[in-house]
Chains A and B, each alone.
Chain A
Amino acid sequence: MKINDRFTLLFVRIVQKLLGLRKVGSGTALPGLIIEKYIPSAFERFAGQLDTIILITGTNGKTTTKAIMSEIFQEADIEFVSNKSGSNMKRGILSAFLENSNLSGKLRSKTGIFEVEEATLPRIVDNLKPSILIVTNLFRDQLDAYGEVNKTREYIRDAIEKSPEAKVILNGDDPLVSTLTKNLPNETLYFSIAEKYRKNISYEGISTKNGSSDILQASKIVIQEDLSSEFQADDQTYLLKTPGIYHVYNALAAILSAELMEIDQAHISNAIQNFKSAFGRGETIEYRTITGKKINFKILLIKNPAGFTLTLDLLKRTKGIKLLLILNDKIADGRDVSWIWDSEVEKLNDIQPNLIITSGTRAHDMALRIKYSLKESEQNILVRPNIRRAILSAGKRAKQDETIYVLPTYTAMNEFRKLLGKKF
């Protein structure tokens, strides 16, 4: 490594430390940005030090899949480097490398687990050669960013074509995903859930019967009162606290990759049982109002119609709850909020919430969507675009120990968590 490079690395590590001290969450990609500019070869040099690289892509579930895998790897005492949730472009991965490296640019870990944004994937696999590549699903998500979902699929197919050595783990129920390795030499494994549990999941395209025998299927899923899932796959019973059928998919993908990594079953089962939700994905935050009343906010991130519909479907089990829906239209959320009209918000009629507050930059759009979905159109919807005011409104109306269900889009979730004193 050249003197200049060393100097840059030192400088960036200092920046990283400072960012850490100031708890600037969204600054995670900044160190990567600096390195990218001043040591363009750094990415390749870091990536080349890893023996095993696991990449996770797809529209929904990247963060949770990665988080479950991290839990399993920790349980099995395997050291690894991993990028922060949402920092899933090249710079975010570079930042993760930096944090994991010493000053001569040597990584501490030999294994890498990264979530990668779909369009970024084909651009990085030349350097970051995956041993395992996981594709969670392909839903309509941020169509304003890519134009069309077929385009997103092409990015991923491209990346797989460039990685003939990679073992590929695919969602066997999603027609756009299950066919990704067709006519390619890649060894492919599938995960799936039994048909009766996926009625509400609207995959794109026509499903064809999956002829492969390499399927790990959740044959039985029981949703518990606290919305956690107990499921069976390959004669093993797993308990997953993170609420939502879709997270069972994520757990299955993580189990398959752990098996490929030859991790003991006991470690896998324990890790899944101990897994606490990735932030914003079923995470509960305790909050005290100014009068000392304790309430809980349960955060269920929504990003696209598929996830929004499934989340509402899950909440049928909790009749009469209080709901706070926060719709932002920043770039990371998607500038186009049309997707709320593709979501089955009509499911609110099954939940019968006793309070609905909408918030965020597009609070009125969300309120209008809800107005059009409720049978009793008289029901009051509180519109509080400012998130702080929405929290106060919710807090005022909640009873001691009550749980308020918060459904925010991505940037809304970050803002919400920050207002409740959580760092990234």
Chain B
Amino acid sequence: MKNKFQLTITHLYPQEMNLYGDLGNITTLRRRANLRGIEVKLVDVGVGHELQPGQTDLYFFGGGQDKQQVQIAEDIIKLKKNALLEDLENEVAALAICGGYQLLGRYYLAANGERAEGIGFFPIETVAPGPDVKQRCIGNISTHLVHDQTIQQVKKYYDYKSQEVNIELLLTLVGFENHGGRTRLLTDENLHLSKVIKGIGDSEDQGFEGLRYKNAFGSYMHGSFLPKNPHVADLLISLALERKYGNEFKALENLDDKLDWKAHRKALKLI
């Protein structure tokens, strides 16, 4: 089915920040939009390009190695920060994973002591305790959503009943985390996205994973994240379309997500 909707997805630093299958998130967003007849324009924005505000409907920002992350941090402040802040404040949808999540925050202090300033949109700070691989948080992770607005929206935008998914399952997230940095929320406002069932998440002492502010989501979940969490993929697409088309956008058509949820269920059982 062809419809009039069009979606522009901006992929930030696809060359530098593309670790651990984060590309799968783009694959998923694009495919799920295309299957609904939504035209997708994918824009790659890398180092050296000045970002303009008001040009996109959805940002994706993946994770990178420490070395790359410190390299791009300078570029993001110089050429991207203002446009990003303006768009995100204006409720453009965004998904930021791992390094991307950290750089939407205030700063990232790498294991070797190098400090990367973030754009400060998320009220978080991230500190990596040391260079040893043993100090990294590595493993399968599952969580359940605790962010009220997100819970309501997932129920609204994702027709879970037709997928034979019950509400408990719908509110879970699965992924694989691999990060050195520990992230701390610097506000009393409850922006936590989910509570950890298995794994570590933002940091050992907090028990939360990820954050949502306005329509921007931050998370440590690779896996890739969106393929096995089709409800979040559809939420991002819905938020972007609703912002762009207002009441013209009602709901996304159902897709056959049986295999996706089977993989999700299996992932919930992983150690």
Do B266 and A364 have beta carbons less than 8 Å apart?
yes
24 CB < 8 A contacts A-B? A147-B133, A147-B178, A335-B139, A335-B176, A338-B22, A338-B24, A338-B223, A338-B224, A339-B21, A341-B22, A341-B23, A341-B227, A342-B18, A342-B24, A364-B259, A365-B266, A368-B228, A368-B260, A369-B24, A371-B259, A371-B260, A372-B28, A377-B35, A383-B259
User: Do A337 and B266 form a contact, CB below 8 Å, given A143-B19, A149-B65, A368-B260?
Assistant: no
CA distance A151 to B135 in the complex (A): 14
Q: Mark B225-243, 1 if CB is under 8 A from A, else 0.
A: 0011000000000000000
Count A-side interface residues using an 8 Å CB cutoff: 31
* CB contact list, A320-349 vs B, under 8 A: 329, 335-342
Main secondary structure of the interface of B (DSSP, over half): mixed
B140 interfacial by beta-carbon distance below 8 Å: yes
Chain A residue at minimum C-beta to C-beta distance from B222: A338
B250 interfacial by beta-carbon distance below 8 Å: no
Contact of A365 among B27, B35, B133, B228 (CB under 8 A): B228
CA distance A362 to B260 in the complex (A): 13
Q: Mark B5-49, 1 if CB is under 8 A from A, else 0.
A: 000000000000011111110011001000100000000000000
CA distance A314 to B20 in the complex (A): 24
Q: Which residues of A sit under 8 angstroms from B147, Cβ to Cβ? A: none
Given contacts A147-B138, A339-B20, A369-B227, 12 further A-B pairs with CB under 8 A are A144-B139, A144-B178, A147-B180, A148-B67, A336-B223, A337-B176, A338-B24, A339-B21, A341-B21, A341-B23, A365-B266, A371-B259
CA distance A339 to B222 in the complex (A): 10
Q: Mark A356-370, 1 if CB is under 8 A from B, else 0.
A: 000000101101110
B198 interfacial by beta-carbon distance below 8 Å: no
Q: Which residues of A sit under 8 angstroms from B186, Cβ to Cβ? A: none
Do A143 and B133 have beta carbons less than 8 Å apart?
no
Main secondary structure of the interface of A (DSSP, over half): helix
CA distance A395 to B246 in the complex (A): 54
Q: Which residues of B sit under 8 angstroms from A140, Cβ to Cβ? A: 19
Contact of B27 among A146, A337, A372 (CB under 8 A): A372
B263 interfacial by beta-carbon distance below 8 Å: yes
CA distance A144 to B67 in the complex (A): 17
Q: Which residues of A sit under 8 angstroms from B222, Cβ to Cβ? A: 336, 338
A150 interfacial by beta-carbon distance below 8 Å: yes
Q: Which residues of A sit under 8 angstroms from B24, Cβ to Cβ? A: 338, 341-342, 369, 372
A145 interfacial by beta-carbon distance below 8 Å: yes
CA distance A341 to B267 in the complex (A): 16
Report the minimum CB–CB distance from A318 to chain B (whole Å).
Answer: 25
Q: Which residues of A sit under 8 angstroms from B262, Cβ to Cβ? A: 364, 383
Do A336 and B176 have beta carbons less than 8 Å apart?
yes
Q: Mark B242-271, 1 if CB is under 8 A from A, else 0.
A: 000000000000000001101100110010
User: Do A150 and B67 form a contact, CB below 8 Å, given A144-B138, A336-B20, A342-B21?
Assistant: yes
Chain B residue at minimum C-beta to C-beta distance from A343: B21
CA distance A337 to B20 in the complex (A): 8
B136 interfacial by beta-carbon distance below 8 Å: yes
Question: A147, A329, A342: which has the most chain B beta carbons within 10 Å?
Answer: A147
